[in-house]
């Protein structure tokens, strides 16, 4: 049994708990919130038996083995480091942190304390992402990866009226690249590694974060184009274009229907059953690592989290997006 605590009381934490409960070794021991009433209400809703309002008490607690972090991006590093320094395993929401410096410090802290640190990037743990990896050689020499995640935010209407939610505020290391662009980039890094160079463009909002953006990544002989937005929608599937065929993926964040369109006109459905909720697979990966005494996922590895945040930091540099977290030392 792995005794979990959670940080963050928004819908995503409920979704994680619901999915993780499908893994037999999961036990929800405690929830953390900044406010007692919120913690109590969330514990009641989720079945946790303990609550915390003090991070250091949670970190020091002997009744917790692992923590799922779903706080705003700006707090990931600070919270994860406190927890790992007390021997807690950490699964932390995407993006792993605000910038390269924070991710490097988190990785060092995990290694020093011999604990698991894993980015909760659901996409790459999904069976239908693994099927893409498996069938990739069938499409011959790869020439392009195209992926987008553009979703008009429910908080953008309020933004236009002058209310800046966390999702649009630089203090929380937010914006379209951090929130949605990461879903296009992490799978790209898993499939093709680090690019040689990137060229980024973005539309900056009055708050200082990006509302949308695009990045072209040069892989030498192949390029990648990723697009992301919190101020408009897209319905375009993702594609990996090879000289012999093209893999078409319904949605990059949660691949479900995946087909190969061969150059000779044949079409092959390579989708596989994915019976559980999307977050089940990342939860299973994390718990399996703990049970086996392994310290790092080979899927959502430290190196891949680092490569992804390096691209994001470079894209922010090119487009002038700065977070207060960039000025802090963790």
Ligand X SMILES: O=C1CO[C@H](CO)[C@@H](O)[C@@H]1O
CB 35 within 8 A of CB 9: no
Residue 34 touches ligand NDP, criterion: CB under 6 A: yes
Q: Using CB under 6 A, which residues numbered 142 to 161 contact ligand X? A: 151
User: Residue 6 is encoded by which pair of tokens?
Assistant: 């959670």
- Of 51, 68, 72, 251, which one interacts with ligand NDP (CB under 6 A)? 72
Q: How far is the CB of 120 from ligand NDP (least distance, A)?
A: 6
Q: How far is the CB of 151 from ligand X (least distance, A)?
A: 6
Residue 10 binding target from ligand X, ligand NDP, none, CB below 5 to 8 Å by type: ligand NDP
Q: How far is the CB of 179 from ligand X (least distance, A)?
A: 5
Closer residue to ligand X in complex, CB, 88/230: 230
Closer residue to ligand X in complex, CB, 99/151: 151
Residue 282 touches ligand X, criterion: CB under 6 A: no
Residue 75 touches ligand NDP, criterion: CB under 6 A: yes
Query: How many residues bind to ligand NDP according to rule CB under 6 A?
Result: 19
Residue 75 binding target from ligand NDP, ligand X, none, CB below 5 to 8 Å by type: ligand NDP
Residue 70 touches ligand NDP, criterion: CB under 6 A: yes
- Of 88, 94, 302, 316, which one interacts with ligand NDP (CB under 6 A)? 94
**What is the Cα–Cα distance from 54 to 81, expressed in whole angstroms?**
15
Residues contributing to the site for ligand X (CB under 6 A): 151, 179
């Amino acid at each position: 049994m792995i005794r979990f605590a959670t940080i963050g009381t928004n819908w995503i934490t409920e979704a994680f708990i619901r999915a993780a409960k499908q893994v037999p070794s999961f036990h929800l021991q405690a929830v953390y919130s900044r406010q007692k009433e919120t913690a109590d209400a969330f514990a009641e809703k989720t079945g946790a038996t303990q609550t915390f309002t003090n991070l250091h008490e949670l970190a020091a607690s002997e009744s917790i083995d692992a923590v799922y972090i779903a706080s705003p991006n700006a707090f990931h590093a600070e919270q994860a480091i406190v927890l790992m320094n007390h021997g807690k395993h950490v699964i932390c929401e995407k993006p792993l942190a605000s910038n390269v410096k924070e991710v490097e410090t988190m990785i060092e802290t995990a290694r020093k304390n011999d604990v698991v640190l894993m980015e909760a990037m659901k996409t790459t743990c999904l069976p239908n992402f693994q099927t893409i990896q498996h069938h990739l050689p069938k499409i011959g020499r790869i020439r392009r990866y195209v992926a987008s995640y553009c979703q008009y935010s429910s908080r953008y209407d309020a933004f236009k009226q002058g209310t800046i939610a966390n999702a649009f505020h630089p203090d929380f290391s937010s914006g379209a690249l951090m929130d949605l662009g990461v879903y296009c980039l992490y799978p790209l890094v898993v499939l093709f590694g680090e690019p040689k160079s990137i060229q980024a463009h973005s539309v900056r909002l009055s708050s200082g974060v990006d509302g949308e953006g695009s990045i072209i990544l040069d892989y030498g002989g192949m390029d990648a184009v990723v697009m992301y937005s919190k101020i408009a929608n897209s319905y375009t599937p993702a594609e990996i274009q090879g000289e012999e065929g093209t893999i078409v993926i319904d949605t990059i964040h949660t691949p479900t229907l995946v087909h190969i369109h061969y150059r000779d006109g044949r079409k092959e459905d390579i989708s596989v059953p994915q019976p559980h909720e999307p977050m089940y697979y990342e939860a299973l990966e994390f718990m399996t690592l703990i049970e086996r005494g392994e310290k790092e996922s080979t899927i959502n590895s430290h190196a891949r989290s680092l490569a992804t945040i390096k691209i994001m930091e470079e894209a922010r540099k090119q487009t002038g997006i700065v977070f207060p977290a960039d000025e802090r030392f963790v």
